[in-house]
Structure 1
Amino acid sequence: MSQTQYDTLVSARWIITVEQDGEVLENHAIAIKDGQIAAIIPASQCASISANQRLELGHHVLMPGLINLHGHSAMTLLRGLADDKALMDWLNNHIWPAEGKHVQDDFVFDGSCLAMAEMIRGGTTTINDMYFYHAAMARAGLASGMRTFVGCSILEFPTNYASHADEYISKGMAERAEFLGEELITFTLAPHAPYTVSDATFRKVVELADKQDMRIHCHIHETADEVNNSVKELQQRPLARLQQLGLLSPRLIAAHMVHLNAEEIDIVARHGVSVAHNPASNMKLASGIAPVQQLLAAGVAVGIGTDGAASNNKLDMMAETRLAALLAKVGTLDPTAVPAATAIRMATLNGARALGIADKVGSVKVGKQADLIAIDLSALETAPAFDPVSHVVYAAGREQVSHVWVKGRCLLDARQLQTLDEAALKARGEDWRNRILAR
């Protein structure tokens, strides 16, 4: 009987599987073949295993790659442009005007590549994005090797990309057609928010999502003003309106969801809606603290997102995961809220559930695709290591991510990017800075 020849065999001190909260395998290896996790093997048996490449990580955690459930990657080129502003001031008086002057295909491609390089170096393997010039975002995903969900933004008012809602939809669907068959590229429908999208457009989005089997990605209940203005103008809260329009379903990924009452949490759970929690962005824009513990207790799949670098400044999913755990504790005055294992599940398997890919990624399991990261815990800052699950959430930083694989392909090897040119990305970023300042 012939022995299986694996592509890669990665041995590590600890494997956090996320199959069960807190499950850790000590001194095991993951065998990768044809992009999949083919076997999980005790280190004592590895000597007899045949593999084209062997990697021994004696002080590392191996775990599923992090899933950034809400981002605007191209906005990395606007990082730090308008800090310390209220959300609507930030959007209306700073971000939207800057985008109107600069956003085009090359802006989106360059900004997205820069963002993806940052995310890969921080252990993120999947991005659920929302922006314009969707083909450029998809090309960046292919260039980087990241698993990329491309959100086709839909609004009622004109931007550089389109003039009205129907044009946003038609252009987005045409760009989607270019990338059908690309396994790592998935398009979603991304109506921006209840305050920028009409009832008629939301109905079209629901119909199209059902017809094309697409996810829907939308900002909802981000600020108190959003909710209060809806009540004042429409005599109902945004979530109630969206429920009437048929938007609430397992297809929907609701970003932010900061201002929810108990009845709304129950509605979200009953409809199978997933939530993208963005702790740093919510803090920086003073939007509030999302009721994450209550959502989780109701059975809602709550994932974690960074939002864009213009409203967060870092695309650091490890930092977001730590913040998610800490904010839940201070928000409920309960130190047991969102323990470390739950926070890791939010950043991995819950995100996969929200995106409909939990059968492929999100945990370490034989048969799933090898979207994996390695985190080096040998640093002074993470010594000693009693509990690797706790350490990943509360002690380790993104600079300790040493290796990243997506579908078995190595995107980061000993902190060195393998698919993107770091020097070229920095140069393009500086060029865009000069162009933005000149305008």
Structure 2
Amino acid sequence: MAQAPAHADQIIQARWIAPVEGPARLLNDHAVVISGTRIVDILPAAEVGRRWQATETLRLDNHLLMPGLINAHTHAAMNLFRGLADDLPLMTWLEQHIWPAEGKWVSEQFVGDGTRLAAAEMIRSGTTCFADMYFFPEAIARVATEAGLRASLFCPVLDFPTPMGQGPDDYLRLATAAADNWRHDPLISVGFGPHAPYTVSDEPLQRILTLAEELDCQIMMHVHETAGEVQGAVDAGGERPLARLARLGLLSPRLLAVHMTQLTDDEIRQVADTGTHVVHCPESNLKLASGFAPVEALRTAGVNVALGTDGAASNNDMDMLGELRTAALLAKGVAGAADALPADAALAMATLNGARALGLDQLTGSLVAGKQADIIAIDLSALETRPVYDPIAQVVYAAGREQVTHTWVAGRCLMAERQLLTLNTGRILRDTQTWQENINA
């Protein structure tokens, strides 16, 4: 006697599925079965009716299903500063434009409205999880929850006053409070975000390391972003920033070192040996002329390299598909090898590697039974992505974010057929216009 089909909440059938993890690189004419927040099965579409029945079934005959993109480093609220200070080197950009603007405008309201604008852009671009390092992290958490996005929040720590506090004592107090307040939320995690070696002294860094171990959380820091940063550290203290972080014990699987454009061969080996993660932000680095991260050398050494957009004030978008293409092309130019960072590895960098860096790889980053249903669908039927010989390469080298049609996080649909389902576009545009007028004035 045939067994009755099991019940699920959703079945999504697609022309192709890119699991990113597991024995199959690409699945043709398969279905993802979702129950609650999790994937419970992935199987050929021809077999799904015999084994499963669902409350909702969606057929996507021209689409690739893949894990949601993971933006492993951004400053979401800075979307409100998009285009404010273009075509400037990093320190001029920071010291003469961004820091003064933040001092004047940043507040919980600014952070909430800016993050909401960014959340809408991320959902429409296929990002399902973002790692944020910005002021008022609980305001970011509230908007991420409203939007339905998964978020890892790294509370900023600096030696000097900002709109959020007077110094390290204030920042660490706010960080530990946020970690406590959000510790039971399934989509939110909280860690520490010391800004950079040149803005945080030894004593706060040692306290951060102790607290991170006590709370079992990650640390994110801008490291070796420019040659000037490295030379300045050598001139001031006689050692390169990475050597100082190693001396303090920060190099470990807890650390996400962002940018890392200035690395010696010995430093690459040290990063690999300590299990430190690197977050590559190619478009921001290019725009600020900061340098080129040696991605292929890092990968060859065994370093986990994730991908981030950085903030929209220095990118100027949060388009992870665009970032993915730039990363794949730039890696070839830097390495001088056409086979450097091939399409599959680039896709992993934007998904599973990001999850691994954030300590979330048991939950997300790939389409595997048992993981959270963080999924996007990309329509490859447009003339810009035809013909389709290799759907994965087509996504990396040809597809645009406007071809992302659906976005799910933990089984919840946040966008269907390009329509946002959790955020009010009209409200976001009105709030953004108000901020533009105020800042312009």
Give the equivalent residue in structure 1 for 2:38. Answer: 36
Residue 2 of structure 1: CA displacement?
Answer: 4.6
Superposed, 1:173-184 pairs within 5 Å as 173-184=176-187
TM-score (norm 2): 0.98
State the match for 1:15 in structure 2.
17
Structure 1: tracts of 5 or more residues without a match: none
Deviations 1:169-207 (A, max 9, x none): 112222332222111011010000000000111101101
Q: Is the 8 A contact 2:178 2:190 kept in 1?
A: no
Q: Structure 2 matches for 1:151-162, cutoff 5 A?
A: 151-162=154-165
Partner Cα separation in structure 1 for residue 350 and residue 187 of structure 2 = 19
Say if 2:339 is the partner of 1:336. Answer: yes
User: Residue in 1 aligned with 2:172?
Assistant: 169
Task: Please state if 1:194 is matched with 2:197.
Answer: yes
Asked if residue 126 in structure 1 is aligned to residue 104 in structure 2, the reply is no
CA distance in 2, matches of 1:9, 1:171: 42
Contact 1:130-1:151 within 8 A present in 2 as well: yes
1:412 aligns with 2:411: no
Tell me the SS of whatever aligns to 1:435.
helix
Instruction: Assess if the C-alpha contact under 8 Å between 2:175 and 2:191 holds in 1.
Output: no
Query: Is there any run of 5+ residues in structure 2 with no aligned partner, and where?
Result: none
Deviation per residue, 1:133-173 (Å, 9 max, x gap): 11100101101100011110000010111001111111222
Paired residue for 1:146, among 144, 149, 158? 149
Scaled by the length of structure 1, what TM-score is found?
A: 0.99
More deviation, 257-266/163-172: 163-172
Identity of aligned residues (%): 51
Give the number of aligned pairs. 438
Mapping for residues 427-438 of structure 1, pairs under 5 Å: 427-438=430-441
- Cα RMSD for the two superposed structures: 1.0
Identify the residue that residue 209 of structure 1 maps to in structure 2.
212
Give the whole-Å Cα distance in 2 for the aligned partners of 1:304 and 1:177: 28
- In structure 2, how many angstroms separate the alpha carbons of the residues matched to 1:268 and 1:198? 21
Aligned to 2:108: 105
Structure 2 counterpart of 1:45, from 44, 47, 52: 47
Separation (CA, whole Å) in 2 of partners of 1:180 and 1:367: 22
Give the Cα–Cα distance (whole angstroms) in 2 for the partners of residues 364 and 100 of structure 1: 42
Contact residue 11 and residue 55 of structure 1 kept, 8 A: yes
Amino acid in structure 2 at the alignment position of 1:220: V
Deviations 1:273-326 (A, max 9, x none): 011100100000001110000111111110000000000011000000001110
Could you tell me how far apart the structure 1 residues matched to 2:13 and 2:252 are? 41
Letter of the structure 2 residue corresponding to residue 11 of structure 1 = Q
In 1, Cα distance between equivalents of 2:224 and 2:106: 26
SS in 2 for 1:61: strand
CA distance, structure 2, for counterparts of residue 43 and residue 148 of structure 1 = 32
Could you say which residue in structure 1 is the equivalent of 2:224? 221
Residue equivalent to 1:25: 27
* Distance of 1:353 and 1:133 partners within structure 2: 25
Tell me if structure 2 keeps the 8 A contact 1:150–1:185: yes
Q: Which amino acid aligns with 2:431?
A: R
**1:22·1:341 contact (CA, 8 Å) conserved in 2?**
no
- Displacement of 1:22 in angstroms is 7.3
